[in-house]
Amino acid sequence: MMPIKPLFLLLLGLIGAQANLDLRTAAAMAAGLCKARPTDLVFIIDSSRSVRPSEFEQVKVFLAKVIEGLNVGPSATRVGVVNYASRVKNEVSLKTHRTKAGLIKAVTKIEPLSTGTMTGLAIQFAMNVAFSEAEGARAKSSDVGKVAIIVTDGRPQDNVKDIAQRARDAGIEIFAIGVGRVDMNTLRQMASDPLDDHVDYVESYSVIEKLTKKFQEAFCEDLVSDLCATGDHDCEQVCISTPGSYKCACREGFTLMDNGRSCSACSNSATDVVFLIDGSKSVRPENFELVKKWINQIIDKLDVSESKAHVGLVQYSSTVKPEFPLGRYNNKKDLKEAVKKMAYLERGTMTGQALRYLVENSFSLGQGARPGVTKVGIVFTDGRSQDYIGEAAKKAKENGFKMYAVGVGNAVEDELKEIASEPTGEHYFYTADFKAMSQIAKKLQINVCDEDPCECDSLVKFQKKVEAALQALTKKLESMSKRIALLENKIV
């Protein structure tokens, strides 16, 4: 028998080896699915007086994190940085640094200029100087991308529309990131088409680095047509690849629903679902439209009917506005049309008041709730509540409501966790970008089973299969440990 200490070290080694294997596998998958196109990338960053020193530091952190995820090199991605206010300064040329370490070090040393906001002048400088061959740009070619990422927080003091158009005509793809009180129309004038992919907005510099992943992915080309492998599908459980497409399936014991994507564990379960939606001023009209699409995405996953899922909708800001009660619409078509017609309230963010309304009214018999039916609340917000949420959040869960909390942008994750049911990891979701809400809709699972365990036999079967698989895996690990021990003995 192997002594305890060597056995312990062997197990640690196995765990470490498995961790390294997982990392290598992830890296290999990334290499197989995504390849960086050779790109000349120039960041154009606003350091006018409206950008505080601490905020400018956050911009530099964002740049460094994007650079960290790039394939930097003379024949891969070259990076430059243009700093502007009333004047323009070429901080980093495309030819200056050939390594990530050198680039990131140069970025950390950039200082704000702290004067006006001449965004048009900065774009012109980038087009004429930063993207010139003299500064390290490669000759115009279909094989090399030219990309500019503009970060600004204000209204420009010069014209950007014409110069941005000239830059785009010259083959430069422009991404525009706006912060705080930025003029959204200006962002649209600068950005390339499609605007949904090239315009981003964040409430403050404190959350800008959460856009990092998007911009790392923007420099990847998909080399695989396997939509299941890339995750570019809507299947809730199982994705089956087909040439150029895919189809969805469910695990054993689950049933594929009529939409062809969602799976139901208990087809005879009834659920009352109420959406509590933040319609405050910070959401903005264009993002409110994305929220409505997100609601309808979740409705598509429900089995809406007279006897199964009923849906209600409440909007809130400084006040609470019930849009429609539970049971008014018993088919998806009418329900989704009603969601589309919801008008944006604007004003403040009184999430605590809205939660109290949910607890006291939304799930009452007078508002269409059914006795003995599972109650599910889905709360969406994009910012910190202006009132206390603790008591109402606690009461909702004490009443047996299954609570989901979804946050975007400046939403406070501690507040989301306070609203969400246990386990919080399965009941709260956060993203920095409204455009990423569709991914949350895919992850959010609200199918429930009745209390009668006979009606959840499918889940019991699935659990037993998982347990059997774990036992088999344990046996394999024990076998591997014995083989390693034999090898060690031979070596000795």
pLDDT digits (tens, 9 = 90+) for 327-354: 999 999 999 999 999 999 988 999 999 9
Pairwise pLDDT comparison (227 vs 60), residue with the higher score: 60
Please give the helix or strand (H or E) that residue 145 lies within, else none.
strand 145-152
Place of tokens 């594929």: 256
Pairwise pLDDT comparison (31 vs 58), residue with the higher score: 58
Backbone angles phi, psi at 63, to 5 degrees: -60, -45
Alpha carbons 477 and 484: distance in angstroms, whole number: 11
User: Are the C-beta atoms of residues 313 and 353 closer than 8 Å to each other?
Assistant: no
| pLDDT of the residue at 226 | 62
- Find out if CATH 2.10.25.10 is the number for domain 224-264: yes
User: Are the C-beta atoms of residues 330 and 299 closer than 8 Å to each other?
Assistant: no
Alpha carbons 147 and 459: distance in angstroms, whole number: 50
Place of tokens 């920095």: 432
Q: At 397, is the pLDDT very low, low, confident or very high (cuts 50, 70, 90)?
A: very high
* Sign of the C-alpha dihedral computed for residues 221, 226, 231 and 233 taken in this order: positive
Alpha carbons 318 and 409: distance in angstroms, whole number: 19
* Nearest one of 91, 173, 155 to 125, comparing CA atoms: 91
In the three-class reduction of DSSP (H, G, I as helix; E, B as strand; rest coil), residue 450 is classed as coil
Mean pLDDT of 308-319: 94
User: Are the C-beta atoms of residues 236 and 445 closer than 8 Å to each other?
Assistant: yes
User: Are the C-beta atoms of residues 86 and 72 closer than 8 Å to each other?
Assistant: no
| pLDDT of the residue at 470 | 72
| pLDDT of the residue at 221 | 53
Mean pLDDT of 213-224: 64
| pLDDT of the residue at 401 | 93
Alpha carbons 192 and 164: distance in angstroms, whole number: 9
The two three-digit tokens of residue 5, written as one number: 């200490």
Query: In Å, how far are 121, 195, 197, 422 from 184, measured between CA atoms?
Result: 19, 11, 14, 39
Query: In Å, how far are 51, 307, 327, 328, 338 from 331, measured between CA atoms?
Result: 50, 11, 10, 9, 11
Q: Which value, to the nearest 10 degrees, does the dihedral of the CA atoms of residues 177, 179, 185, 186 take?
A: -60
- pTM of the shown model: 0.46
CB atoms within 10 A of CB 391: 12
Domain(s) labelled CATH 3.40.50.410 in the chain stretch across: 36-221, 270-443
Mean pLDDT of 309-322: 95
Mean pLDDT of 433-442: 84
User: Are the C-beta atoms of residues 228 and 240 closer than 8 Å to each other?
Assistant: yes
Please state whether 89 falls in left (phi above 0), alpha (psi between -120 and 50) or beta. Answer: beta
Which residues are CB-neighbours of 80 under 8 A, at least 6 positions away?
40, 41, 42, 43, 90, 92, 93, 94, 96, 130, 135, 136
User: Each residue of 121-173: pLDDT tens digit?
Assistant: 999 999 999 999 999 999 887 788 899 999 999 889 999 999 999 999 999 99
User: Are the C-beta atoms of residues 301 and 448 closer than 8 Å to each other?
Assistant: no
- pLDDT surpassing 80 at residue 266: no
Mean pLDDT of 6-27: 38
The two three-digit tokens of residue 188, written as one number: 């649209």
Range among 6-20, 191-205, 224-238 rated most confident: 191-205
Alpha carbons 342 and 345: distance in angstroms, whole number: 9
* Sign of the C-alpha dihedral computed for residues 360, 366, 368 and 369 taken in this order: positive
- pLDDT surpassing 50 at residue 110: yes
Alpha carbons 379 and 313: distance in angstroms, whole number: 10
Question: Can you name the CATH fold of 270-443?
Answer: Rossmann fold (3.40.50)
Mean pLDDT of 445-460: 49
Residue 315 CB-half CA count within 13 A:
22
Alpha carbons 136 and 77: distance in angstroms, whole number: 11
User: Are the C-beta atoms of residues 67 and 104 closer than 8 Å to each other?
Assistant: yes
Strands 320-324 and 374-381: unpaired
Lowest-pLDDT range, 7-21, 317-331, 335-349, 450-464?
A: 7-21
Q: Which CATH class is domain 36-221?
A: alpha beta
